[in-house]
Amino acid sequence: MKKSRTKKKRASSEDLLELVGELKAYTEEFDVSDPTGTEVSLDTHISNLIEKGIIAGRTWRKYHALSEVVKGMLGKSATDNLLERVAMFEQLISSYGGEPSTEDMEEALEVLNEVIAEIEKRVEKRSRGQQQRLAE
């Protein structure tokens, strides 16, 4: 029996708002003096998205990368610039090869806030586009 393939759909505006909510909650917990705890906290917030059904657990590796989540949820609308900023954030908080400095952690928080703002703009733009189409 042949399995049918379904086209990947980009995440709905509501799903993206859930992502933004988790990322904002994460920024409130972000501790520049505790890189390891901060990495664990990010994993917890990504797991929350899986538990809510926003991200299908079977399509993601055991250890989730925020860049994979963002790319998966935004699809083709994820610009290279946005993905590069997410990757930069991941590099800055990574304890692989040694603990990040406080300055790296502070920069990571700034970059993450920029990423959140960019995703919020995309949601707003989508919402305006949907409202215009409904009005026509």
Going residue by residue through the chain, which has 136 residues, state the pLDDT in tens, using 9 for 90 and above.
444 333 445 688 899 999 999 999 999 999 999 998 998 999 999 999 988 988 876 554 555 789 989 998 988 888 999 999 999 999 999 877 778 999 999 999 999 999 999 999 989 988 776 666 666 6
Please state at what angle helix 35-51 crosses helix 66-74, rounded to 10 degrees: 30
Q: Is residue 2 part of a domain?
A: no
Q: Is residue 49 part of a domain?
A: yes
Q: Is residue 95 part of a domain?
A: yes
Structural domains of the chain, count? 1
Its domain, for residue 99, covers: 13-135
Q: Is residue 3 part of a domain?
A: no
For the beta carbon of residue 78, count every other beta carbon within 10 angstroms: 19
- Cα 18–Cα 64–Cα 100 angle in degrees, nearest 5: 100
- Give the separation between CA 123 and CA 95, rounded to whole angstroms: 32
Q: Is residue 42 part of a domain?
A: yes
Q: Is residue 24 part of a domain?
A: yes
Q: Is residue 70 part of a domain?
A: yes
Token digits of residue 55: 């991200």
Q: Is residue 64 part of a domain?
A: yes
